[in-house]
Amino acid sequence: MTSGATPKRETCMNIDLLIKMANEISAFFAAETDQEQAVSNVASHLRRFWEPRMRAQIIAYCEQRQGAGLVDLAKGAVALLAHESKAAVTQTAGVSPKPDPAR
């Protein structure tokens, strides 16, 4: 006898679709003359409008496949998100600075 509850299942988006969307977003911001600002703008868009699972999936893809299929601007934005994600994990893990021996 089943309880009728369906198991929670994580769904993954088609990675090709995520790549296509990231490249299209990057194309929009490519007109920015400051490359660092363009990367920041793309990362900001992904942070604001993509679901966390989508961001995690594109980050994992970039780490596994070196961003194959992504334009340079998208690769930079995903690398920025990955760096922020790792920094957040370090902060929430309770890593604190070493105590000052002079105290």
Residue 24 within any structural domain of the chain: yes
- Beta-carbon count within 10 A of 37 CB: 11
Q: Which of 88, 81, 19 is nearest to 55 (CA)?
A: 81
Residue 99 within any structural domain of the chain: no
Residue 100 within any structural domain of the chain: no
What's residue 54's pLDDT? 96
How many independent structural domains does the chain possess?
A: 1
- pTM of this prediction? 0.76
Among the ranges given (12-16, 24-28, 79-83), the one the predictor scored with the smallest mean pLDDT? 12-16
Residue 34 within any structural domain of the chain: yes
Cβ neighbours for 42, distance < 8 A, ≥ 6 positions apart: 22, 25, 26, 29, 73, 74, 76, 77
Q: Residue 103: which pLDDT band, with cuts at 50, 70 and 90?
A: very low
- Would you state the structure tokens that stand for residue 76, as one six-digit string? 């930079």
Residue 1 within any structural domain of the chain: no
Residue 75 within any structural domain of the chain: yes
**Which amino acid is located at 22 in the chain?**
A
Question: What residue numbers bound the domain in which 55 lies?
Answer: 15-91
**Which tens digits make up the pLDDT trace of 37-90?**
999 999 999 999 999 999 999 999 999 999 999 999 999 999 999 999 888 766
